[in-house]
Amino acid sequence: MRISELSRRSGVSVTTIKYYLREGLLPPGRQTSATQAEYDDEHLRRLRLVRALTGVRGLSVSTTREVLDALAEHTGDTHRLLGLTLGSVRLSEESAGKAPEAGEVDAFVKELGWDVHESAPARATLAETLTTLRSLGVPVDRHTLLPYARLAERTAVLDLDQLDGLTDPLETAERALLLTVLLEPALMALRRMAQENESARRHTS
């Protein structure tokens, strides 16, 4: 299909598609003349993925490219692929400096018995959150975090169960990425609503 049809079917403007092409978020089409190129369903699928990552999660163009590169580059055994895919996705656009709580987080992960890569960005995110909460006077320590971590283990079982039955490694990695990144707002929405419900349960007679 022409770029105009790609635009119509994806709902993304031609200008934005050209921008994604320039930035390498979308692979080039098949050149049919000096000024025209043909695009296929794979482009349409990729375009939807880019829109999901930049829209729902508000990822920057450069982070989105990192995520897509991680997805494209790695093949091999499923765990390695999942680890790399999930690990490559930074949790926020914040630059991850070494927070003072980094050592505490490492000790906590060890206490949990979790098999997590040394350089997983999630470690830094957790450490930064502890730093921030404490600077605001909210007491959070390993005793506070432990029950949350146990619930996270059960959440992860649900997440991984959804990959059961997928055999193609690239498809598995893409699904894992979508579930990890795109399900986050939904899980936080469920938490907000559950809080409201729990608050009502406790405070109304």
Q: Which stretch binds a second copy (CB under 8 A): 1-9, 35-43, 63-71, 196-204?
A: 196-204
Please, which of residues 125-164 interact with a second copy by CB under 8 A? 125-126, 128-130, 132-133, 135-136, 138, 140, 144-145, 147-149, 151-160, 162
| Residue 205 in the binding site for a second copy (CB under 8 A) | no
Q: Which stretch binds a second copy (CB under 8 A): 21-29, 35-43, 63-71, 85-93?
A: 85-93
The least CB distance from residue 99 to a second copy, in Å, is 11
Q: Which is nearer to a second copy, 36 or 184 (CB)?
A: 184
Please, which of residues 90-109 interact with a second copy by CB under 8 A? 91-94, 109
- Listed as own residue / partner, the contacts of 89-97 with beta carbons closer than 8 Å and 24 or more positions apart are 89/63, 89/121, 89/177, 89/180, 89/181, 90/63, 90/66, 90/121, 91/121, 91/122, 91/125, 92/125, 93/59, 93/60, 93/63, 94/128, 96/121, 96/124, 96/125, 96/128, 97/124, 97/128
| Residue 192 in the binding site for a second copy (CB under 8 A) | yes
| Residue 13 in the binding site for a second copy (CB under 8 A) | no
Give me the sign of the Cα torsion angle 15, 21, 25, 27: positive
